[in-house]
Amino acid sequence: MTTDEERVVSVLDLFRLDGRVAVVTGASSGLGAGFARALAEAGADVVLGARRADRLTGTAREVEATGRKALAVPTDVVDPESCTALVGAAMDAFGRVDVLVNNAGIGTAVPALREEPAAFRAVVDVNLMGTYWMAQACARVMAPGSSIINIASVLGLIKSYSPQAAYASSKAGVIGLTRDLSQQWSGRKGIRVNAVAPGYFASELTADIPRGPLDEFVRQTSTLGRLGNQRELDTAIVFLAGPASSYITGITLPVDGGMTGH
């Protein structure tokens, strides 16, 4: 049985983010820049964080081309104070933070017996610790109804194409972190926390992998048999960001062409 309020709000309206402010880390290029554009297209103003400050300008222009406002803030998610400063800048500019997309990430592909401790730690620092620091900083100011979306990876769930112990373990950690933060914050603070686990997409992280062998690996290990495209991931982000997913928290959503179910 539907309520009068449910009848008034259309299904498409539930995917709108008008009046909301989204923070996207790793927004200087690649998937993060795409997420920023998609959130803006759905109606959100967007705060952009990344270490490469010069490249944030381009993403900001793309967000503003949709008619929404953009704020670029040089940010290193490894540093908790930098994360706090990003959120402070967002609050000064917009007075609120409603959505966080924890996208900043790096990866290596080194055989485990040859991986240096510093390289392993660097991946975990950005992918797992950085996700935690940003989530902490945003949760301190978020109101009930807000959404945190952590970008995990299908490699946190299944075997990888190449030797990626640091990357796979950091992303598995993000999945565990997502469950715990959802348990802590969703009921008590009204902040939903979910993760997206992308499969193989054409992005900066896959740019150095020879496409022939990668395409064949994806063909053999996924149901759809191809790499994903940016828009197929954008729609999952927009869905989890707003009221369309208001009854969903603590989950990891694979967007992987069927790799996890193959």
pLDDT at 208: 66
Catalytic residue, chosen from 132, 161, 167, 247, is 167
Closest CA to 158 of 202, 115, 207, 197: 197
Q: Which helix (H) or strand (E) holds 83?
A: helix 80-94
The structural domains of the chain, ordered by start, are 12-249 (3.40.50.720)
pLDDT at 1: 42
Report the C-alpha gap between 181 and 176 in whole angstroms.
9
pLDDT at 211: 73
Q: Is the pLDDT of residue 4 over 60?
A: no
161 is catalytic: no
pLDDT at 125: 98
pLDDT at 255: 97
CA 225 to chain CA mean position, Å: 24
More confidently predicted of 4 and 150:
150
pLDDT range class, residue 64, cuts 50, 70, 90: very high
Q: Is the pLDDT of residue 26 over 90?
A: yes
